[in-house]
Amino acid sequence: MIRVAAVGDIHMGPDSQGLLRPAFETLPDCADLLLLAGDLTRHGTPREARVVAREVADLPVPVVAVLGNHDHHDEQPERVTAILRDAGVEVLEGEGTVVECAGGTVGIAGTKGFGGGFVGRSAGEFGEPVMKEFVRTTRRSAESLHAALKELDTQGCTARVALTHFSPVADTLAGEPPEIHPFLGSYLLAEAIDTAGADLAVHGHAHLGSEHGMTAGGVRVRNVAQPVIRRAFNVYRLGAA
Ligand SMILES: [Fe+2]
Ligand SMILES: [Fe+2]
């Protein structure tokens, strides 16, 4: 059994230092690793990133993260990434990593993802250059997620997890206004997950959404945005392959 703790959208700033640390220090008792599903900061500033870094530094379990749209707002995602990496966080963007746990090896493929919407109501790669670039951004992200999951498959992981900020399915957006679904996720991410294979998909971003969903291919999807799960993290169990 592999125990995966996850939370997203912790949106930390200078006034939130220390709020999550006591809960994170209990992680070794209940989880093998911690996933952070993006929107770790409010505006993506280095100052905010340092708050997050101190909150997770030297935790006794591995920490794997993707950035969210808020972590890009100050247009310094590379600095945010570097500050988190200095604190020991594995920050993924279009790549995978393998964590050795007592119950087996878990492979995590991560990308921020992007919007575009869901089947039948989605943006197309057509028309104005800016519209094409919007959809291409999502497509490239989904392709990188697919490639990373496939690569993890060749490494014989006991379980594979897809970690994104944007949602791969509409299920976990239930509670959000349908009009904004195209800005909350894309079916291209779910297609990547289903065609490459995964045991669990974890995302954030949809603060008003719901926790539980599933891809068309039957992969469990969990929205771990903190306003949804209303706790420091949730723990999901993955069985042996
Ligand atoms: Fe958020
Ligand atoms: Fe977000």
Q: Quick one: the chain helix, strand, coil %, rounded to 5?
A: 35, 30, 35
pLDDT tens, position by position, for the chain (241 residues)?
A: 999 999 999 999 999 999 999 999 999 999 999 999 999 999 999 999 999 999 999 999 999 999 999 999 999 999 999 999 999 999 999 999 999 999 999 999 999 999 999 988 999 999 999 999 999 999 999 999 999 999 999 999 999 999 999 999 999 999 999 999 999 999 999 999 999 999 999 999 999 999 999 999 999 999 999 999 999 999 999 985 4
Query: Parallel, antiparallel, or unpaired: how do β-strands 2-7 and 234-238 relate?
Result: antiparallel
The pLDDT assigned to 241 comes to: 42
Cα dihedral 190, 196, 201, 207 sign: negative
Q: How far is the CA of 39 from the centre of ligand 1 (A)?
A: 5
DSSP letter string over 27-57?
HHHH-SEEEEES--BSS--HHHHHHHHHHHT
Q: How far is the CA of 78 from the centre of ligand 1 (A)?
A: 19
CA of 168 to the centre of ligand 2 (A): 13
Measured from the alpha carbon of residue 41, the closest ligand is: 1
Distance 87 CA to ligand 1 centre (A): 22
Using an 8 Å Cβ cutoff, are 93 and 112 in contact?
A: yes
Domain residues for the domain of 220 are 2-238
Q: Say how many Å lie between the CA of residue 103 and the centre of ligand 2.
A: 32
Q: How many CA atoms lie within 13 A of 184 on its CB side?
A: 26
* Ligand found nearest the CA of 72: 2
Total tally of structural domains belonging to the chain: 1
Provide the CATH number for the domain around residue 177: 3.60.21.10
Distance from the alpha carbon of residue 175 to the mean position of ligand 1, in angstroms: 15
Distance 227 CA to ligand 2 centre (A): 12
Give residue 156 CA to ligand 2 midpoint distance, Å.
Answer: 32
Cα of 193 to ligand 2 centre, how many Å?
20
The one-letter amino acid at 89: V
